[in-house]
Amino acid sequence: MSNIYIKNIIRFIVLLFLQVLILDNINFWGHINPYLYVYFILLLPFEIPGWFLLLSSFALGFGIDIFAGTLGMHTASSVLMAFFRPIIIKSISSSKEYEAGMQPSISDLGFRWFFTYTVILVFIHNFSLFYIEVFRFSDFFSTLGRVVYSVIFTVILIIITQYLFLKRTK
């Protein structure tokens, strides 16, 4: 098995259990939830086939739903995020050309590109997740506040994680 497959399988398992065992128990000020598990979807290689991107996102969201008892909310949000991922990648310009083996990361494409990419996709995920959870628009602005705060906190965690595991270039 290729090294990239092993890394992604390990990343899948670690992020799933980190989310379920630690991060699902964090709830700042009653409404800020970190969702670091989306980092797995963000870091999948550019050349991954669309069907496998959707399937792996489904499996990740389903795993979170099983442990959290959320009846498909994370699955739907993860698949929606994965669906928009290729569109967002194509719409965000990069000074570098996407090459085989490249990952969507700070080290390969720079901070500005990765930050924009992360904020957009995490917003899509959290927006769909929180509005599926409340399932009404009567609390639109309070739910939008939860979305924004959770996006900020999740993006900060993802950026910190990127710098912790940044591959050094010589």
- Which pLDDT value is given to residue 167? 65
- Which pLDDT value is given to residue 52? 93
Share of the chain above pLDDT 70, in %: 91
Domain ranges across the chain: 3-164
Check residue 26 and report its DSSP letter: -
Share of the chain above pLDDT 90, in %: 45
The alpha carbon dihedral of 59, 63, 69, 75 has a sign of: negative
**Amino acid code (one letter) for 2:** S
In 3D space, the residue among 164, 131, 161 whose CA is nearest the CA of residue 38 turns out to be: 161
Q: Binning pLDDT at 50, 70 and 90, where does residue 157 land?
A: very high
Domain range 3-164, CATH class: mainly alpha
CA atoms within a 13 Å half-sphere pointing along the CA-CB vector of 23: 20
Contact of 154 with 130, CB cutoff 8 Å: no
The residue ranking higher by pLDDT, 97 or 162, is: 162
Q: Which residue has the tokens 């927006």?
A: 127
Residue-wise pLDDT for 88-122, tens only, equals 998 987 656 677 667 888 888 888 999 999 999 99
Check residue 25 and report its DSSP letter: G
As a whole number, mean pLDDT of residues 18-42 equals 82
pTM: 0.89
CA distance 143 to 136: 10
Check residue 104 and report its DSSP letter: S
**Amino acid code (one letter) for 104:** P
pLDDT at 168 over 60: no
Report, in angstroms and rounded to the nearest whole number, the Rg of the chain calculated over CA atoms: 16
* The token pair that represents 11 in the structure block: 């990343």
Q: Binning pLDDT at 50, 70 and 90, where does residue 1 land?
A: low
pLDDT at 170 over 50: no
The residue ranking higher by pLDDT, 146 or 168, is: 146
The residue ranking higher by pLDDT, 146 or 54, is: 54
CA atoms within a 13 Å half-sphere pointing along the CA-CB vector of 147: 23
